[in-house]
Structure 1
Amino acid sequence: MRLQHHPSLAPELFLEFDGKIVHTDEARVADAINAATDEIAGDEKGISNTPLTLVVKKKGVPDLTMIDLPGITRVPVHGQPADIYEQIAGIIMGYIRPEESIILNVLSATVDFPTCESIRMSQQVDKTGERTLAVVTKSDKAPEGLLEKVTADDVNIGLGYVCVRNRIGDESYEDARKEEAKLFRSHPLLSRIDKSMVGIPVLAQKLTQIQAIIIARCLPDIVRKINEKLNASISELNRMPKTLSSPAEVMTAFMGIVGSAKESLKKILIRGEFDEYLDDHHMHCTARLVEMLNLYSNELHNCPESDPRRNFLMEEISVLEESRGIELPNFLPRTAEKSWEDIKNAYRFR
């Protein structure tokens, strides 16, 4: 339920689910919720994780968003799935686990608080109770010992307790609040509970204040995460190719690609830098040259003209030795210098 203060005297109510918007009013809101629930989860007491949002825009209501989670069911009935408990527990944990959530534990005054399943689940995600608030319903049904239960806090409710009276029958909201105020003012036992811990208006005020505190605490981290995702999306968008709408833009993009390819070739062939292809050994010239020489050596050994029973290539090596001529130490022979000049000229031509 999303409550929003609205200056208009006429309240506005509508449901949102599955991309639909269904307008309703205060008199028919219960029927509208039942019809939407049947549409989402069926009419056989099925369950669904699809959220059903009731938006209430009304003058005087607090700006507050509350999520009414399904009640815990351990035994499936009327064709419900066998893992009904696991499904409901998964839905509940998904909503109460985030640090931004306030856990509003609804407890009946007629039961012992330590035995409540909802308390056990909330303690799993909020061990210190710093974001858990308890609402004690049916205060008028079990007033004996209620003061001691909410003041002892045996179950570690960090944000405290608020005791309320349930609406009875067709009571209007205004009548219910009057009866509630009368109950906690005049009842011999309930009147002893501190007035900061009783009543629906106190609960609404507490929730609004706690929500503001939680938002203020979590907002910087939320903004940081949003900025990180935004920057990552912008970087990814900038890396995507731009739409080319004219021949001039196409030529500019093509020349950029050619320039990038030339720079990559210079890095690989001249400077021997392989940072663009760290894992691609086929682009490493030295490794490729060794591989090619090994292949060539194997081809020579397997060549029919080569006889492995005699000295391999010794005749060719002796011819090369004879052609070397007289040399000075530490100077390249003339044939080698000429070959080097031919290689440089050929590369320059290309």
Structure 2
Amino acid sequence: MQGICSDPIHLKIFSPHVITLTLVDLPGITKVPVGDQPDDIEFQIRDMCLKYISNLHSIILAVTAANTDLATSEALKLAKEVDPDGRRTLAVVTKLDLMDHGTDAVDVLCGKVIPVKLGIIGVVNRSQADIINRKDIQEALKDEASFLQKRYPSLAGRNGTPYLAKTLNRASYTFLLMHHIRDCLPDLKTRVNVMAAQFQQLLNSYGDEVQDKPQLLLQIITKFAAAYCNTIEGTAKNIETTELCGGARICYIFHETFGRTLKSVDPLVGLTQLEILTAIRNATGPRPALFVPEVSFELLVKRQIRRLEEPGLRCVELVHEELQRIIQHCGTQQEMLRFPKLHERIVDVITTLLRRRLPITNQMVENLVAIELAYINTKHPDFDEAKLIYRGMSEDLSLDGELKSKIVAHPANKQVSLSIPGEGSHEPTAPINFAAYSKAKIDISSETLLNSYASSHGNSRHGSAAQSPSRKGINLLDEVPSMPLGRKLHAHEQRDCNVIEKLIRSYFLIVRKNIQDSVPKAIMHFLVNYVKDNLQSELVSHLYKQEEIDKLLEESEQIAARRREAAETLKALQKAGQIISEIRETHLW
């Protein structure tokens, strides 16, 4: 397997002669895949190297062979990408003994080819043959020193493996490392202080060890009840910005959801003119009516008012659901997470309280509708439509009076005289033929007028001759339908239906306005405000019991483990801050 893996291999070396530091040995850049290496092996190695050397708190050792062109060094190229000023780059030139004859690395080691601020150190390592022949390291160091003294006499003291070790291990590198740390200290100290403050806050949120359990239980109950009521009132500390909750959602239910639903209920929904006409006829009994019966109006308008009960009950249900949802919103407090059994019992108590108030509130909403049904107040000050309608009916009756005069003046009614008071008529009066008028009003047809005319002239013989002998003794009446047949309404029937529709619409709008105003008030009084006023007392009476306190305040194992971790991390951060302060007070020159 010639591929690479990003998982590091950790190797710890202990020695009293070295300083404490972490050395990361990264693979060399491979240009051409070999064997079973993937095609993108170059990019994998490059990404891995950049991951480590991009750390601003690290020192880069750019290793390059002396028998290659230093200008083509991939190590120096990567180092320059992340450290363009060269402040944390140290170049190491290997294989000085493998350079071509007639060439040397003097210019490279002196920094004349590519300058590196931290310096360039040349070394001579053991060859592969030396490794196979088990050449001793001490002997290899002697050979390296002899080579440097022979080829680079003026530079021998500042190159070689021992000098590199001293640079990395002794005062010179300590000076380098400390200066680098000194540059990074402000940022490090800021990060440590911020993290320490965060973990201190996290530790405070987990709470201290419980000392006085009864007192803590009362504090938690009081805090939860206050948070619940504040969410309804809109005075909570943490205000939601993603959705409506609490009192704002209840307000939306009252004035948007409930109000829009009521406005969508048409006053005449599910009511046809045929049904209105049937109700009018049923209210008149066997007598044809001269006026629209008030009973039919009451029956029909009550039917429409009953449709307002369902939206009111649905409004109660939506508010109840929101009050239930507030429990979960307030349950995100740290105390609820710390004591899960206490949170469970609080949810049970409030749920029971809401469930107990639900039927009472529903009954009140039903009573509001029943109150409207109990008395149809046609003298309501806003019921002006009735006055206008009846004024119009009076005008119609005056027109009917003219029609009666014309009927009486018809030749078929010559034997009937009509005396209208106030016109100075002294002729003897005779009773008005209201039967003929009523019949004309209900169904004035040519056949009816002809029969009436023939009867008035006493033409009984002609009338009897007109009858067909074939129909004698046969029942000419059809079966009476349960509902009037679907035919076009007569003018007076259409007028009566229009009158009833206008009355229903006018009175329905009055009742709908009352319901829209009274249902939210009833819900607030019997459900919302009652829960607010009695929530804390309910929690105390059900939860503050000596035999249950220990069980309710049993802490979650997960919270306890998090507290220990936060305390340990905070302690380590405080120690790191102390060390950084000591370094800043140390004079490095």
Which TM-score tier does this pair reach, normalised by the shorter chain?
A: 0.5 to 0.7
Distance 2:141 2:18 in 1: 14
- Corresponding residue for residue 143 of structure 2: 179
Whether 1:261 and 2:224 are equivalent positions in the alignment is yes
Question: How far apart are 1:293 and its partner, in Å?
Answer: 3.4
Whether 1:122 and 2:88 are equivalent positions in the alignment is no
Distance 1:108 1:254 in 2: 72
Distance 2:235 2:143 in 1: 83
Question: Does the CA contact (< 8 Å) of 2:59 and 2:88 recur in 1?
Answer: yes
Amino acid at match of 2:162: P
Residues 247-326 of structure 1: pairs in structure 2 closer than 5 A = 249=213, 251-264=214-227, 267=230, 273-279=235-241, 280-285=243-248, 288-289=250-251, 291-297=253-259, 298-299=261-262, 302=265, 304-305=303-304, 310-311=505-506
Using a 3 Å threshold, how does the CA distance of structure 1 residues 290 and 220 change in structure 2: closer, same or farther?
closer
Question: Does the CA contact (< 8 Å) of 1:122 and 1:132 recur in 2?
Answer: yes
TM-score (norm 1): 0.66
* Equivalent of 1:166 in 125, 130, 146: 125
Using a 3 Å threshold, how does the CA distance of structure 1 residues 277 and 59 change in structure 2: closer, same or farther?
closer
**Larger RCO: Structure 1 or Structure 2 (Cα < 8 Å, ≥ 6 residues apart)?**
2
Using a 3 Å threshold, how does the CA distance of structure 1 residues 301 and 311 change in structure 2: closer, same or farther?
farther
Distance 1:288 1:74 in 2: 68
Whether 1:67 and 2:59 are equivalent positions in the alignment is no
Question: Does the CA contact (< 8 Å) of 1:147 and 1:192 recur in 2?
Answer: no
Residues 323-342 of structure 1: pairs in structure 2 closer than 5 A = none
- Corresponding residue for residue 212 of structure 1: 178
Whether 1:200 and 2:191 are equivalent positions in the alignment is no
Q: Deviations over 1:221-241 (max 9, x none)?
A: 334323423332332233236
Whether 1:233 and 2:199 are equivalent positions in the alignment is yes
- Corresponding residue for residue 25 of structure 1: none
Q: Deviations over 1:149-195 (max 9, x none)?
A: 233443342211111122241332322222222222233xx113363
Question: Does the CA contact (< 8 Å) of 2:145 and 2:156 recur in 1?
Answer: no
Question: Does the CA contact (< 8 Å) of 2:124 and 2:160 recur in 1?
Answer: yes
Question: Does the CA contact (< 8 Å) of 1:75 and 1:85 recur in 2?
Answer: yes
Amino acid at match of 1:81: P
- 2:12 is paired with a residue whose SS is strand
Distance 1:164 1:51 in 2: 27
Whether 1:105 and 2:65 are equivalent positions in the alignment is no
Question: How far apart are 1:73 and its partner, in Å?
Answer: 1.2
Distance 2:256 2:22 in 1: 73
Amino acid at match of 1:192: S
Larger CA deviation: 228-237 vs 160-169: 228-237
Question: Does the CA contact (< 8 Å) of 1:96 and 1:125 recur in 2?
Answer: yes
Distance 1:220 1:238 in 2: 27
Q: Deviations over 1:85-131 (max 9, x none)?
A: 12111211111110111111111111110111112111111111111
Amino acid at match of 2:304: E
Larger CA deviation: 68-77 vs 234-243: 234-243
- 2:62 is paired with a residue whose SS is strand
Larger Rg over CA atoms:
2
Question: Does the CA contact (< 8 Å) of 1:281 and 1:288 recur in 2?
Answer: no
- 1:54 is paired with a residue whose SS is coil
Using a 3 Å threshold, how does the CA distance of structure 1 residues 137 and 301 change in structure 2: closer, same or farther?
closer
Q: Deviations over 1:188-220 (max 9, x none)?
A: xx1133633x12222122224133332333244
Unpaired stretches in structure 2, ≥5 consecutive residues: 268-302, 306-500, 515-524, 535-589
- 2:63 is paired with a residue whose SS is strand
Aligned residues, how many? 276
Question: How far apart are 1:139 and its partner, in Å?
Answer: 1.4
Question: How far apart are 1:61 and its partner, in Å?
Answer: 4.2
Distance 1:58 1:154 in 2: 37
Question: Does the CA contact (< 8 Å) of 1:128 and 1:156 recur in 2?
Answer: no
Amino acid at match of 1:146: A
- Corresponding residue for residue 96 of structure 2: 139
Unpaired stretches in structure 1, ≥5 consecutive residues: 1-43, 320-341
Question: Does the CA contact (< 8 Å) of 2:29 and 2:45 recur in 1?
Answer: yes
- 1:107 is paired with a residue whose SS is strand
Using a 3 Å threshold, how does the CA distance of structure 1 residues 204 and 94 change in structure 2: closer, same or farther?
same
- 1:105 is paired with a residue whose SS is strand
Amino acid at match of 1:87: Q
- 1:50 is paired with a residue whose SS is coil
Using a 3 Å threshold, how does the CA distance of structure 1 residues 59 and 231 change in structure 2: closer, same or farther?
closer
Amino acid at match of 2:108: K
Whether 1:93 and 2:50 are equivalent positions in the alignment is yes
Question: How far apart are 1:268 and its partner, in Å?
Answer: 5.3
Distance 1:316 1:103 in 2: 85
Using a 3 Å threshold, how does the CA distance of structure 1 residues 65 and 257 change in structure 2: closer, same or farther?
closer
- Higher strand fraction: Structure 1 or Structure 2? 1
Amino acid at match of 1:311: S
CA RMSD of aligned residues (A): 3.6
Amino acid at match of 1:305: Q
Distance 1:172 1:135 in 2: 22
Amino acid at match of 1:232: Q
Q: Deviations over 1:41-99 (max 9, x none)?
A: xxx22322222233333354454432221111122222122221121112111111101
Question: How far apart are 1:134 and its partner, in Å?
Answer: 0.9
